[in-house]
Amino acid sequence: MSSKDLDLKLAGLSLNSAPPPAIDDRRDPSSDEDDNGPDPYEEWMGNLKDFETNPAYVRIFTRKVLADISNIRDRALDPANHTDGQTIRYRDIDRVIRTVWKAPDWEEVIPTEECHEITVLMSTRVEMTKGFQIKMPHTSLGRPKEKRPHKHSYKVELMHRYNSDAPTPYIPLPFVLWNTIKDKCNVHEDNNKMERLRNFVSPTANLWKNSSAAQHVRERFKATISWTVPIRKIVGIGLGPIREDKHLYGGILQYMAVFTIAATLDAANRAVDANHAKIRIILQDPAYQPKDKMLLEWLYRGQVEMMRDPDGILAIDESTLVISAFLPNSVPLMQVIADMFDPGTGPAGIMVDNLNVSKTKILFRCKERGSPAVTRMMQRGNYRDFSHEFRHRLDEHILDHVHGRRTGRRQRYWVEAMTVHLREK
């Protein structure tokens, strides 16, 4: 056994040469859109109260499991592990060893302007239920997009592709890794292009700084300092790169709020202790390129850390404000966070969309962010719903500036869809 094999074995992983069926589709499954009406995948309902009767299913994404995912991702990215047929295996929630990654077997050479990337696909609680895996079809990989009637669960399908010899159709893996291709972006090496980007976003930053919305954010977060658990870190998950397209440019407003919150907390901390450490800003999104880090640090006038999935999630602790807006429903961020913390604890604050916390709810759709574990964390963690106090409207002239002047329906401001919960001391 090589030292690399031994390292994996000690970590609870294994490197195996028995190949699962070839997968020749290099799409990133999370990028597909579907306009064919309600998707059975997202609408499927699972009884998570029954699911949690097994104690092993109560906390699945522990910090150790997330650290293992990070380790597997790095191994999968290492070209030394890309020999034909190599796989990495990991235990599912029933402690059965399964394949979670297979070396890419693309026939063509990756062009120099592209690079191999790993997409980490974490399973939602509903996707890990037996009913979902057995009754939902998972047969869309490799088919032309126009012939895919629904998105289905690419995660579960990939698990079946990797583990075609499984004796049962139930493969409850908490995660699986997908080989993808990512375009290399060298804009950060071109001073003229970076200057053009800075000139493009600068007017937005100036408009925000002097807006009533920015003032509202400052006042509301300054008022929370006396009663909330101290925030020393902001972790943004899936906030996305800043895009120049007016249809996508609205994401810059999320960063304006993040930077304003950080600056407000920094000013309050320095008023008490001049040597107080600055708020750390950590961002995780698979679409980030080096130019995004440079541009965001220029906007913030400070350091911004960018991490791979799941390292940004792993950085979340009890002093963290988590911010995530419109993350794909297939990403179980809140469920993962709930698993990371002991009962009665949790992040210092959570700002997400579409979060429903209910003590009596037992049936959950695949597209829902919540779960019984999320509800327990929110109820036992002494969280206060801060949504009403924080919610505000954006100045109309900034909406016009960001999205372009439009007639008809008013462009929605991202904060209007957010729920905000902060932990009380």
Within this chain, do residues 369 and 241 fall inside the same structural domain, yes or no? yes
Within this chain, do residues 161 and 69 fall inside the same structural domain, yes or no? yes
Q: What's the rounded mean pLDDT across residues 372-391?
A: 94
pLDDT in tens, 42-65: 778 899 999 999 998 999 999 999
Within this chain, do residues 167 and 201 fall inside the same structural domain, yes or no? no
pLDDT in tens, 101-127: 999 877 666 777 678 899 999 999 999
pLDDT at 11 over 70: no
What pLDDT score does 381 carry? 94
pLDDT in tens, 75-104: 999 988 888 789 999 999 999 999 999 998
Within this chain, do residues 21 and 65 fall inside the same structural domain, yes or no? yes
Q: Which two tokens stand for residue 279?
A: 């708020």
pLDDT at 20 over 60: no
CB-CB contact of 417 with 253 (8 Å): no
What pLDDT score does 27 carry? 38
Q: Which two tokens stand for residue 424?
A: 């009380």
CB-CB contact of 335 with 125 (8 Å): yes
What pLDDT score does 98 carry? 96
Q: What's the rounded mean pLDDT across residues 124-150?
A: 66
Q: What percentage of the chain exceeds 70 in pLDDT?
A: 84
What pLDDT score does 411 carry? 74
Residue 113: count other Cβ atoms within 10 Å of its Cβ: 9
Bridge partners for 87 per DSSP? 16, 102
What pLDDT score does 108 carry? 63
pLDDT at 8 over 80: no
pLDDT at 15 over 80: no
Within this chain, do residues 65 and 47 fall inside the same structural domain, yes or no? yes
Task: Note down the domain range covering 356.
Answer: 187-423
What pLDDT score does 107 carry? 62
Domain boundary among the residues 160, 183, 206 is at 183
Can you tell me the distance from the alpha carbon of 262 to that of 337, in angstroms, rounded to the nearest whole number? 21
Can you tell me the distance from the alpha carbon of 201 to that of 245, in angstroms, rounded to the nearest whole number? 12
Number of domains in the chain: 2
pLDDT at 66 over 90: yes
Can you tell me the distance from the alpha carbon of 314 to that of 137, in angstroms, rounded to the nearest whole number? 32
What rounded mean pLDDT belongs to the chain?
A: 85
pLDDT at 12 over 50: no
Within this chain, do residues 22 and 45 fall inside the same structural domain, yes or no? yes
Q: Which residues contact 172 (CB under 8 A, 6 or more apart)?
A: 92, 93, 94, 123, 128, 130, 133
Report the predicted TM-score, pTM, of the whole model to 2 decimal places: 0.87
Residue 170: count other Cβ atoms within 10 Å of its Cβ: 18
Domain boundary among the residues 151, 183, 215 is at 183
Within this chain, do residues 172 and 270 fall inside the same structural domain, yes or no? no
pLDDT in tens, 168-203: 889 999 999 999 888 888 888 889 999 999 999 999
pLDDT at 282 over 60: yes
Domain boundary among the residues 168, 183, 198 is at 183
Within this chain, do residues 244 and 368 fall inside the same structural domain, yes or no? yes
What pLDDT score does 22 carry? 38
CATH number, domain containing residue 349: 3.40.50
pLDDT at 18 over 70: no
pLDDT in tens, 330-369: 899 999 999 999 999 999 999 999 888 888 899 998 888 9
Within this chain, do residues 260 and 298 fall inside the same structural domain, yes or no? yes
Within this chain, do residues 152 and 243 fall inside the same structural domain, yes or no? no
Within this chain, do residues 287 and 142 fall inside the same structural domain, yes or no? no
Q: Which two tokens stand for residue 261?
A: 């919150």
Q: What's the rounded mean pLDDT across residues 251-270?
A: 95
Can you tell me the distance from the alpha carbon of 86 to that of 76, in angstroms, rounded to the nearest whole number? 10
pLDDT at 414 over 60: yes
Structure confidence at residue 36 as a pLDDT band (50, 70, 90):
low
Cα–Cα nearest to 86, from 75, 96, 97:
75
Within this chain, do residues 113 and 205 fall inside the same structural domain, yes or no? no
Q: Which residues contact 149 (CB under 8 A, 6 or more apart)?
A: 36
Q: What is the DSSP string of 21-58?
A: --------GGG----SSS-HHHH-EEEHHHHTTSGGGT
What pLDDT score does 258 carry? 97
pLDDT at 40 over 50: yes
Coil, strand or helix at 419: strand
For Cα atoms 155, 334, 357, give the angle at the middle one, nearest 5 degrees: 120
pLDDT at 28 over 60: no
